[in-house]
Structure 1
Amino acid sequence: MRRALVALFVMLATALGLLAAPQQAIAANRDVLRPDNSGTCEWDAAGYWVQRCDVWSEATGRNIPVQIVAATNGGNAGLYMLDGLRATEQSNAWLVDVNAAQIYEDSNITLVMPVGGASSFYADWEAPATYDFNNPVVYKWETFLTSELPAYLEQNFGVSRSNNSILGLSMGGTAAMNLAAKHPDQFRQVMSFSGYLATTLPGSQTAFRAALLDGGMYNLNAMYGPLLSPRRFENDPFLNMDGLRNSDVYISAGAAVPGPQDADYLPEHVASGVALESYANFITRLWGLKARASGINFTEVYTPTGIHNWEQFGSQLEETKGRVLDVMGAW
């Protein structure tokens, strides 16, 4: 009898151990540095399990750094987070001006934050992006984000190619809406925070040309070609919104009125923030009017205060966290 009880205890302990092992492995999903094109990813200074990974882009002929936070429990959902016009090569601003990794600290979704792409609108450009032809800047962001990066994420982080959300601020909001509309098989959800959602309206191209010159002497004509190029219209969120009919869509903008949260900004920064947010608010509302008339389901939020700055963008990131996790099944 004693031997039988001991044997039964051993069997139960073994069974429990086999059941516990996968759970422990899943719980440690964020603790493992994944392989990348330089060998292995590195821990990023942002903390909160952010890995900096070099992902090879055949389209651009170089490694593109991506800051990634693995899903807490091994979930297969991904959240792509796009930067603004003045994106740097050091870090995605979602980890500098707002710590997105901290906000999503206990979430079962993989955060995907590409680094770089200043003034790119995350597009595939037709020619080198700047006027410095001795040091050409090759932008093939759409190819990277919708083809090359998903393959890497699937293999190394378990992210599904068809279970993704995408968001962006300002320039990144414009790009997020474009990419989601053109690749609905990849992105089930899209969010634009103060994005510019109509890019070919009269005067828009002139405004974008000035913005790209100010953002680093980037050549707007190198993006989609001549002014009347069909590609300009194919990449206008105002014109390609039909691709979002089966997506969860959220758009927002501030009222272009400074609030208490903006008290510490310099007057000149407040002035530029008001001007930029005024246009973002107008163009976002215009997009909403057409989308509603077209029968597209979406949510629009216009905050009573807020200018074009990280107080506005960060508050929207926190506001939409629950929505992202609900839609993507990533709690």
Structure 2
Amino acid sequence: MPRFTSRPLAAAVLAGILTPAIIAPHAAAVDYGMDPDVVQNPADTPNRPETSGSGPSMLTQGSSDGTVTEGLINDYRPQTVNPMFPEGRDHLPTADIDMDPEVLARLAEYAKVDGDRIRQINAYSPSMGRTIPLVWIVPQDLSEPRPIVYALGGGDGGQGRDNWITRSDMVDFYSEKNIHVILPMLGAYSYYSDWLEENPDQGGKQMWETFLTHELPGPLEAELGADGTRSLIGMSMSGTTALLYATHQPGFYDSVASLSGCGDTNSWLGRRGVASTIYNGNGTPEMMWGAPNSDYSRYQDAVINAGRLAEQPNLYVYAASGLPGDLDFLGPNAPADDGAWDDRRGPGFYIEAASNLCAHRLKQATDARGIDTVYYDFATTGTHSWDAWNNALREFWPIQARGFGIDGGSVTPGLDGEEAPWVGSSDSSRYTDLFGPSSEIYGGSTAPALSSRLDDPSLSSQSSVPDGSSDSSGSSGSSGSSD
């Protein structure tokens, strides 16, 4: 029975993940701003408004979308049908795959694409009308079908120098285990979501979920000779994505890891966090998911729809406290100067702390629904940084291996244990914060009871949820954001 554990992990540098490129049967070679001699990072959006300040103050700025600062979210009904595709996507076309494209200079430099161990693949997305470059970490042995991991980037889509390839040992880790790894490019500030509106500053149409869950897997896995099992890993911004995909199509991935993400997106603070991330690409929550409380906005909230996670096997949710730990001082990516240390103890702290609150909100929701199959991993130390995520990758591996049908060793005892090693994390009074315990309404579906309402006798610890089930209050309650 998976539980949760806390232990001193620790961490290194702030969000990011791989690099991009482009060419395909549908387009001539185009670098889309990917030439490292011309553009430092293609995620550095042109004409982006200046922002100032750091820490929690960033949650009050950085977006032209007024809905993120107006009132409270007040609709917590589950929304399990996709309003954009109520009949599903089976009728839509799939991707065209180019296994031998011209390698872009940026991918060669920043993602270490060498044409051997790390290669570039291009996939044309019909829904976005453009070619998406993929980085492929190749298994050592291709003599038989192998599992596949889709690893997503952080806020900048991994398009800079800090990414899974440069800041972790993902290449050796999976290549030696004979696992395919695919890292899609050009998803900066997109949440890898299907947007209601186009974002010209990020390439036009943003239909990432359609691309990654419908257009790409079939054709790509056929080209690779994959074995039919797949896993999804997201960190920071895409840690949210991983939770959303798991609630939208539980079981599509045989295992899912959400590292330092936030599934509490339709809450006031969660939506504020989303806004502060996609602002960097000149986007707004309205452009992406519409008005708060709308059907589509509620569909994009993993906490509201937590009941669906009962159907997702091998789900691992990691979040640390944000407090610096040993790896923040001694890890391979530990800060090398004062500026890097300021990033670690500033954004590295408050982004991870907010992610931790989000993860507890999700645990509260799954606890309230009697879902005990999620592996929650709450580290007592660790900032929003690469060494922490690299450690979490190893914690996830035995769980991930189960999804692949192979022996990955034993799961960390605390994750499988009957007793939580850190008493208090599931105490409903521990995280009352400014929104109060969310379990007060709908048994943990993120309803933000304000402090002024905490003494309201009409609020009980057990209430009927809209889907007809009855949930009792579970673990801690708080809301937060993630980049």
TM-score (norm 1): 0.80
SS across alignment from 1:192: strand
Deviation at 1:92, TM superposition (A): 8.6
1:118 corresponds to = 188
Please say if 1:233 is aligned against 2:298.
yes
Larger Rg: 1
SS across alignment from 2:319: strand
1:1-331 alignment to 2 at 5 Å?
Answer: 37-38=97-98, 40-41=100-101, 45-46=112-113, 49-71=117-139, 72-73=141-142, 74-89=144-159, 93-129=163-199, 137-160=204-227, 163-213=229-279, 215-246=280-311, 247-263=313-329, 264=335, 265-296=340-371, 297-330=373-406
Q: Going by fraction, where is helix more abundant, 1 or 2?
A: 1
State the alpha-carbon separation in 2 of the partners of residues 293 and 227 from structure 1. Answer: 24
Deviation at 1:295, TM superposition (A): 2.0
State the alpha-carbon separation in 2 of the partners of residues 160 and 99 from structure 1. Answer: 24
Deviation at 1:244, TM superposition (A): 2.4
State the alpha-carbon separation in 2 of the partners of residues 277 and 137 from structure 1. Answer: 30
Deviation at 1:140, TM superposition (A): 0.5
Deviation at 1:159, TM superposition (A): 2.6
SS across alignment from 1:212: helix
State the alpha-carbon separation in 2 of the partners of residues 119 and 256 from structure 1. Answer: 22
- Runs of 4+ with deviation above 6 angstroms: none
Deviation at 1:243, TM superposition (A): 2.5
Structure 1 residues 185-231: Cα deviation after superposition (integer angstroms, max 9, x where no partner): 42121111111121111332223212321x23222211112233211
| Structure 2 letter corresponding to 1:94 | W
**Counterpart contact for 1:92–1:113, Cα < 8 Å:** no
State the alpha-carbon separation in 1 of the partners of residues 124 and 159 from structure 2. Answer: 16
Relative to structure 1, the CA distance from residue 107 to residue 220 in structure 2 (aligned partners, 3 Å threshold; closer, same or farther) is same
SS across alignment from 2:316: strand
| Structure 2 letter corresponding to 1:267 | D
Higher RCO (CA-CA < 8 Å; seq separation 6+): 2
Deviation at 1:37, TM superposition (A): 4.4
State the alpha-carbon separation in 1 of the partners of residues 242 and 270 from structure 2. Answer: 18
Structure 1 residues 144-199: Cα deviation after superposition (integer angstroms, max 9, x where no partner): 001111122222012355x2111111111110111122122421211111111211
Deviation at 1:51, TM superposition (A): 1.6
State the alpha-carbon separation in 1 of the partners of residues 204 and 218 from structure 2. Answer: 24
| Structure 2 letter corresponding to 1:113 | L
State the alpha-carbon separation in 1 of the partners of residues 161 and 375 from structure 2. Answer: 30
2:462 corresponds to = none
State the alpha-carbon separation in 1 of the partners of residues 272 and 398 from structure 2. Answer: 38
| Structure 2 letter corresponding to 1:103 | F
2:82 corresponds to = none
State the alpha-carbon separation in 2 of the partners of residues 274 and 183 from structure 1. Answer: 32
- Percent identity over paired residues: 25
Deviation at 1:143, TM superposition (A): 0.6
State the alpha-carbon separation in 1 of the partners of residues 156 and 187 from structure 2. Answer: 8
TM-score (norm 2): 0.56
**Counterpart contact for 1:46–1:95, Cα < 8 Å:** no
| Structure 2 letter corresponding to 1:152 | P
State the alpha-carbon separation in 2 of the partners of residues 262 and 110 from structure 1. Answer: 30
| Structure 1 letter corresponding to 2:376 | E
Relative to structure 1, the CA distance from residue 185 to residue 289 in structure 2 (aligned partners, 3 Å threshold; closer, same or farther) is closer
| Structure 2 letter corresponding to 1:77 | P
Relative to structure 1, the CA distance from residue 37 to residue 218 in structure 2 (aligned partners, 3 Å threshold; closer, same or farther) is same
Relative to structure 1, the CA distance from residue 259 to residue 224 in structure 2 (aligned partners, 3 Å threshold; closer, same or farther) is same
SS across alignment from 1:245: helix
State the alpha-carbon separation in 2 of the partners of residues 59 and 179 from structure 1. Answer: 18
State the alpha-carbon separation in 1 of the partners of residues 137 and 119 from structure 2. Answer: 6
SS across alignment from 1:266: helix
| Structure 2 letter corresponding to 1:173 | G
Where in structure 2 are there 5+ consecutive unaligned residues?
1-24, 26-95, 330-334, 408-483
Cα RMSD, aligned residues only:
2.4
SS across alignment from 1:80: strand
1:12 corresponds to = none
| Structure 1 letter corresponding to 2:297 | R
| Structure 2 letter corresponding to 1:153 | L
Structure 1 residues 107-162: Cα deviation after superposition (integer angstroms, max 9, x where no partner): 132212111211111111111125x5xx852210001001111122222012355x
SS across alignment from 2:345: helix
**Counterpart contact for 1:256–1:277, Cα < 8 Å:** yes
SS across alignment from 1:203: helix
Give aligned pairs, total: 292
Structure 1 residues 76-107: Cα deviation after superposition (integer angstroms, max 9, x where no partner): 42211111112144689221322311121211
State the alpha-carbon separation in 1 of the partners of residues 345 and 160 from structure 2. Answer: 26
Where in structure 1 are there 5+ consecutive unaligned residues?
1-34
| Structure 2 letter corresponding to 1:50 | I
